[in-house]
Structure 1
Amino acid sequence: MTTERKRKRPQKSESLTIRLDPKMRFALEFVARLRGQTITKVIERAVLSDADNAYVVDENHNPVGNWTKYWDVNDGVRAINIASDPKIHPTFEEEEILDFVKIHWNFFSFDRELLFLKRDNLEILWPQIESLIDDWRENKVTNRKYCAKRMREMLTNAGLDEKSWAASSMDDERYLIDPSDAIIPF
């Protein structure tokens, strides 16, 4: 049982492999020795210092936030925060996931704008997001309700009730239609 619990716990840290030329390696080791720190601690502090001073700016070049604006302990919240801001240059995969989340917003958020995310739902659904996206790609043309049904089952099996995905008196078919599709005349 103890080993089973250990496997389910998220890692407290992750390993990163980097290539350094001999001069950079020496400089890093020198700073670590001088400060009485590990190489890892020197790198962590340098990255945090740089990240603290790296700001996203608005159209007038005023700073609107740094990495702390996007950080959250919840993987799903972090991913949605990053994918929602074009200034962070989301990847195609992140944009595809965001599109899925926007279409199925009621499972992930209390509002269509994704301003108030449903943390409990994200804890349950996010570990399966890649599988859900694969199912969405495969079924969206023939069975648009497939993923919604699957997410309802996942949430129900985790002990959450219909309130966790209810979309303020909207029926399934209405919230599975992307609002931008409604204006296309064909």
Structure 2
Amino acid sequence: MAKNKPSQGARKTETLTLRLDPKVKMMIELISRIRRQSITGVVEAAIEEIAFDLDAPFYFDGETEKWSLSSAVSEVWSTDESERFINMCFHLPSLLTYEEQRIWETIKASPFFFATEESTVATLFTVEGKGRLDRVTIRRWWSDLLGHVDEFRDSRTIVPFEPKG
């Protein structure tokens, strides 16, 4: 997942730095001239076209189906990073990176994040054998959770999260 610099907060766009073969860079520049688009517009259009045609292993209603990546992202997307992460864990679990798997396993190992009778917004999804997650609690403690996972990144086992203080 793309990260903002801490002092920048949430932004409407993200910056991406690429190393390209000079020939490919020239092609992008020429496409942008022909289409009268910015280089960013050319790259975005190309990625959206690929995403429309690319199959993603989307887990839905107890089964893994093939959805276009574009449709999968539409289902998973949220402007809230914690919500987007949870949606990805439930719908695209096979695409999680190692670091994302550590966060997900920490959440699942932490009773603190599961819905109770007092929970106001539980996930629509159930973690097998444990119940639904409390979205509000995850959102509230998201930064602390990421710090906790980073702190224990070298641990050979998952260390459940418990709030401090």
- Name the counterpart of 2:162: 148
Deviations 1:104-158 (A, max 9, x none): 2552653682596544333321122222223696xx88xx7xx4342xx5xxxxx
Deviations 1:34-57 (A, max 9, x none): 111110111112112212332324
TM-score by length of 2: 0.64
Q: Report if the CA contact (8 A) 1:53-1:66 is conserved.
A: no
Deviations 1:18-72 (A, max 9, x none): 1222221111011111111110111112112212332324799852452223222
Residues 42 and 99 of structure 1: CA distance in aligned 2, closer, same or farther (over 3 Å)? same
- Name the counterpart of 2:126: 113
Report the Cα distance in structure 1 between the residues aligned to 2:103 and 2:39, rounded to whole angstroms. 36
3-state DSSP of counterpart to 2:126: coil
User: Is 1:63 equivalent to 2:70 in the alignment?
Assistant: no
Runs of 4+ in 1 over 6 A off after TM superposition: 58-61
Report the Cα distance in structure 2 between the residues aligned to 1:96 and 1:24, rounded to whole angstroms. 36
- Name the counterpart of 1:130: 146
- The two structures, once aligned, show a CA RMSD in angstroms of 3.6
User: Which residue identity lines up with residue 120 of structure 1 in the other structure?
Assistant: V
Aligned positions of 1:1-186 closer than 5 A = 7=7, 9-57=9-57, 62-64=65-67, 66-84=72-90, 85-88=92-95, 90-104=96-110, 106-107=112-113, 110=122, 113-114=126-127, 118-133=134-149, 134=151, 147-150=161-164, 153=165
Deviation, structure 1 residue 10: 0.9
TM-score by length of 1: 0.58
> Which of the pair is proportionally richer in helix?
1
Larger radius of gyration: 1
- Matched length: 140
Report the Cα distance in structure 2 between the residues aligned to 1:20 and 1:135, rounded to whole angstroms. 36
